[in-house]
Amino acid sequence: MILFLFLAACGLTRPLAEEDVRHTDSQALIEQKAKYLEQKAERLTDAPDIIWIIVDDLGVADTDLYGQGTVHTPNLNRLANAGVRFENAYVTASVCSPSRAAMLTGRYNQRFGFEHQLHDRYLKNKLEYFVFNHFMDSKPWYPQNQDSVPGQKMIAAMGLPDSEITIADVLRKHGYTTGLFGKWHLTMRNTNGPNAFGFDEFYGFLNSNSLYGSEANSDIISTHNKKGLDR
pLDDT digits (tens, 9 = 90+) for 54-99: 887 788 888 888 888 888 889 989 988 988 888 888 889 888 899 9
- Residues 72, 174, 185, 224: which is the catalytic one? 185
pLDDT in tens, 159-185: 899 999 999 999 999 999 999 999 999
The HSE-up count of residue 32 (CA atoms within 13 Å, CB side) is 8
* 104 contacts 168 by C-beta, under 8 angstroms: yes
Please, what sign has the CA dihedral across residues 209, 214, 215, 219?
negative
Q: Per the omega criterion (within 30 degrees of 0), is the bond before 74 cis?
A: no
Give residue 91's Cα distance to chain centre.
13
CA nearest to 177, candidates 188, 168, 186, 185? 168
Q: Is 96 a catalytic residue?
A: yes
Active site includes 72?
A: no
DSSP readout, 57-72? T--TTTBTTSSS-SB-
Give the length of the chain. 231
Give residue 3's pLDDT: 61
**CA 34 from centroid of its chain's CA atoms:** 24
The secondary structure element, H or E, covering residue 55 is: none
The residue from 96, 134, 174, 224 that is catalytic is: 96
